[in-house]
Chains A and B, each alone.
Chain A
Amino acid sequence: MSDPSTPHDEPGGERTGGVATRPDALSVEGVELAYLVRGIPREVLRGVTFRVAPGEAYGLVGESGCGKSTTAFAALRYLPTNGRITAGRILVGGQDVTHMSDRELRNFRAHDASMVYQDPGAALNPTLKIGSQVAEAFTTLGHDKKEALDRAVDALHRVRIADPLRVMHRYPHQLSGGMQQRVVIAMALACDPQLLVLDEPTTGLDATVEAEVLDLVRALRHETNAAILLIAHNLGVIRSMCDRVGVMYAGKIVEEGDALEVFEAPKHPYTIGLLQCLPRHGARKTEQALFTIPGTLPQIGTPLPTCVYVDRCALADDLCRDEVPPVVELEPGHWTRCHHVDRLAQMPEASPQTKSQEGEHDLAVELNAVSKTFRVHGTDVPALVSIDLGLVDGETLGLVGESGSGKSTLAKAMLGIHPPDPGGEILLDHVALADKAGDRPAEAMRAMQMVFQNPDSALNRSWTVRRILMRAVMKLTGANKRTAEERVQQLTEGLRLSPRHLDMRPRQLSGGLKQRVAIARAFAGDPRIVICDEPTSALDVSVQAAILNLLSDLQFDRSTGYLFISHDLGVVRYLADRIAVMYLGRIQEVGTTDQVFNGPHHPYTEALLSAVPSVDGEPSERIRLTGEIPSPADPPSGCVFHTRCHRFMEGLCDVVEPPVIEIEPGHLSRCHLPADQLGRVEVGTG
């Protein structure tokens, strides 16, 4: 509708046409799709065209709301009742999906294509055992019950589940997220599909588990020869998995090409912007501010300008506003929709950091032998075991580790939300604090605040922004109304919120703005320490970059210390001055960011670093952690990590608890190996 060029002009349409003997696994031809909202069509896809050859892996990337998931669902015609394909067609293996009857569609979904969703827990029926669910995938194909069960065993073997018979007798909630996703993949592959659609398959999983699942998909791809359409917001995942990639923006593909080429030499201003938003090549906050893309994605259903990206593009000029950009083919198969391919070198780059930290700083918070034991159904579960940690004013301490390692518990113990066990102590300015938040003096509460992962949950949805901030200022500083109003004014300015935002409620704000309000609330009483629990993991990369810049600016200006919890090692590396690595409630390694990233590492850190798929390419060697985190209720003997360690030494690691060794001054590690035998991983050098 908004694109005058016919879909057949797309270069993708000509590319494989005459060569392939088999039809394309997926061919999306000029698809326009709208959701009817109260009778008014809101366009989501505005002429999407791409092809996936048999056995090929194709990735779609873009910020949330750009239409990538809608494309994935449209490929199998899994559309909500108000979704309409208004133009174009979709072929899977030569069959037109857009014009199938319900019966044909069912048959097609049973035999030709499968989909794996983001949340494996929601894809499995919680009331059925794994065995009967997997077998059902085969009975629908017409196998009898006994044969279906046999095949289910094979299917689970195929997704590298070591003990299928045992797993088949379990319920979904008894399996870890990674195992659940394997089961879902096994079911998706039951019909030997031509096309496997994966929509954010590893988004909820830990980096180590994600690496395992991606390895599995990679191996299965070669075994089954199914074509893959992979949707992910994580550019590193796409790079490591896909042959070709399409970059989507506002319901259009703006650039397409070989994955390595697109990531190494992007040719559309949006792709360039997306890649620059990421802290790459070991970038640090002291060296440069992150690049951000101004503006936001156009609203779904609003009329589009000539070039979809014109409002946010640094290169936009009158030509861009007047004419629809041509499709420029740079190399065979790599094309972009831009008027100014020749001017891409003029794209602004991340600006160097202008601010810096000055002066000597005191130890603000100190944890001595802090432990936390939860009592679950009558058994003691130690979630934190004798944590020693110090945090200096103006310093960022990154806290990393798999989920379940106790990162958030540590944060909440410090804040007094989960009062720690007696025995340890938490010192603020060398003065011991009460265990419970409620028993701490107002000064101490004011000194330590928190920024949460999900701003939707962290902001009261029935309060206005003004009320949220006013209440925090008045309660924390004891200010009267007039002083508080001034302070709220300062806060909004400092966090680059506009005064008009003050009268809105959270749901009227975008994700990035909500997180800014949450940060403003944490800074209401000028805290010494702010605990950030995955503050950017719910946000898109361009918004993440803005929030990280904001956090480092605030830190440089006010010397606030951060305890920064994140699973994204690139982000931690950018923001943190020191890093602590946690496993099973214990700190395994602590050191400056350079020490931890450059090594020598604790074997666990080594595995974590090598698991991360990066936009900068894969780490030199890969260590895969096998197995799952042991239950904290029954920790392994000796070194708690020995059950999964690739450097495990029998008779030592499983018997003796390892000592804390000092690798370099300030770089501590809990391992039996001497420092000169610890490994190093080459990550993101340059």
Chain B
Amino acid sequence: MSIESVDPVIVGGPAPAPPVFDARGEKRIARRERLRLLVRRPGFIVGSVILLFWIVCAVGGDNITPLDPINDFDVSNQRPNADHLFGTDQLGRDVFSRVMAGARDVLIAAPIAAVLSVAMGSMLGVIMGYYRGWVDEVLSRIIEALLSIPVVLVALLIISVLGASAIIVIGTVAVLFTPIVARTVRAATLAEAQLDYVTAARLRGESGLFVMTREILPNISGTITVEFTVRVGYAVFTISTLSFLGAGIQPPSPDWGLTISDTYRLIQAGFWWPTLFPALAIASLVIATNLVADSIDTVRSA
């Protein structure tokens, strides 16, 4: 009978012949290797640096802004200058400080909405992909119907009925993103459920719940992670849009969307800076999350 040796996963460095195989060390090396691949991607670095900056702003709030973003009034409508890097707004408040402080609300709301939508969507998606049949048919049709309506429109409708509190905004965005997540997770589950280990589990009498949560879920966690990062970006965008429309974060928060809606009419008067900088902030945050999501996806599937 042959004595077979194992194939160690090929990692960087000259291949040493491991005399004793250390499974946990192996796993650690693999994880470090994935991290190294990530760090080597310029997109990931740029994205994380931007993201980190906004997280610091959100955590620090008005403790770290150069001036008080809400209650410090200077001469209004100053162009960007040495005292006020981004100028001042129509009330004389420092735009730079307001942009920094404006990160907080959206950076709390968007990740929570994303977590909720990914949790609900994954649950639905795994159930649809595993059971298929009529469960899948019915849920798929409902999802298609939901996806055919523009998200912001439905959100506006719900919020105008229920009122614009933080919980309602987060809940609405989460519910509206759920079908999109469910569709992605369903596809991943479908592929996974066809593998023989699922058949093997059924042959030893495992329950559906066990197969879905213990057998399939760990194998689609990569897809779910990527879906989460992508959803964070979209949630930032959607919540900012809602704030702009007055149905999201409420005054006196220096939130970006809210600020833009307060100031955009002044552009025609030549005061572009109170609008442009918050808009750039939104763009940079969305782009940063997408860069990170992309890099994770590429490294994971490499």
Contact = CB atoms under 8 A, between A and B. Distances in A.
Given A301-B15, A500-B20, A510 B4 contact: yes
A71 interface: no
A562 B197 CA distance: 20
Interface stretch (B5-13, B117-125, B159-167, B171-179): B5-13
Interface string A441-452: 010010011101
Interface residues on B, range: 20 to 34
A170 interface: no
A17 interface: no
A332 to B, nearest CB: 36
Contacts of A299: 7-8, 15
A396 interface: no
A501 interface: yes
A504 B6 contact: yes
Interface string B13-44: 11101001101101100000000000000000
| Among all A-B residue pairs, the 10 with the closest Cβ atoms | A462-B218, A503-B23, A458-B196, A452-B196, A460-B197, A457-B195, A457-B196, A475-B204, A292-B2, A546-B2
Main secondary structure of the interface of B (DSSP, over half): loop
A453 B195 CA distance: 11
A457 B12 CA distance: 27
Contacts of A296: 4-5, 7
A461 B206 contact: no
A76 B154 CA distance: 58
Interface residues on A, range: 35 or more
Interface string A434-477: 00011000100100111011100111111110000001100110
A508 interface: yes
Nearest to A444: B205
B203 interface: yes
B219 interface: yes
A343 interface: no
Interface of B: 1-10, 12-15, 17, 20-21, 23-24, 26-27, 195-197, 199-200, 202-206, 215, 218-219
Contacts of B3: 294-295, 496
Contacts of B218: 460, 462-463
24 contacts: A38-B12, A292-B2, A294-B2, A295-B5, A296-B5, A301-B10, A301-B15, A415-B203, A437-B202, A437-B203, A438-B205, A442-B205, A450-B203, A458-B200, A460-B197, A461-B219, A476-B204, A500-B20, A501-B6, A504-B26, A507-B9, A509-B7, A524-B204, A542-B2
A299 to B, nearest CB: 6
Contacts of A471: 204
A549 B15 contact: no
B1 A460 contact: no
A453 B199 CA distance: 13
Which among B3, B196, B206 has the highest number of chain A CB atoms within 10 Å? B196
B196 A508 contact: no
Contacts of B2: 292-295, 512, 542-543, 546
B200 A40 contact: no
A463 B8 CA distance: 17
A459 B206 CA distance: 15
B196 to A, nearest CB: 4
A40 B10 CA distance: 11
Contacts of B204: 445, 449, 471-472, 475-476, 524-525
Given A542-B2, A549-B1, A40 B14 contact: yes
Given A37-B12, A295-B3, A504-B26, 9 more contacts: A449-B204, A452-B196, A458-B196, A475-B204, A476-B204, A500-B21, A509-B7, A510-B4, A546-B1
